Amino acid sequence: MNIVFLDGHTLNPGDLSWEKLEALGNFRVYDRTETTEQLYQRAADAEVLIVNKTPLRAADFDRLTRLRLVCVAATGYDVVDVEAARAHGIPVCNAAGYGSRAVAQMVAALLLEVTSRVGHYAEANRQGFWTHSRDFCCWSNPLTELADKRMCIVGFGNIGQYVADIMRAFGMKLFAVSSKPQEHLPADVQKITLHEAFSTCDVVSLNCPLTASNREMVNAELLAQANPNLILINTARGRLIDEQAVAEALHNQRLGAYCCDVLSKEPPTSDNPILKAPRTFVTPHIAWATVEARERIIDILVSNIRAYAEGNLRNVVNA
Catalytic residues: 237, 266, 285
| Contacts (Cβ under 8 Å, ≥6 apart) of 245 | 218, 219, 220, 223
From edge to edge, which strands make up the β-sheet containing 69-72?
26-29, 2-5, 48-51, 69-72, 92-93
Asked if 243 and 265 count as a contact pair (C-beta separation under 8 A), the reply is no
Question: End-to-end alpha-carbon separation of the chain, Å?
Answer: 22
- 118-126 helix and 100-116 helix, angle to the nearest 10 degrees: 60
Helix H segments across the chain? Answer: 19-22, 36-43, 58-63, 82-87, 100-116, 118-126, 158-169, 194-200, 220-224, 243-251, 273-276, 291-309
Report DSSP state, residue 183.
G
Angle made by CA atoms 208, 213, 219, in degrees to the nearest 5: 80
Amino acid at 233: I
Kindly write down the DSSP assignment for every residue of 124-174, as one continuous string: HHHTTTTTT-SSS---SS-----TT-EEEEES-SHHHHHHHHHHHHTT-EE
Which of 153, 275, 137, 262 lies closest to 202, judged by CA?
A: 153
Residue 97 phi, psi dihedral angles, 5° rounding: 80, 0
Side-chain-facing half-sphere of 20: CA atoms under 13 Å = 14
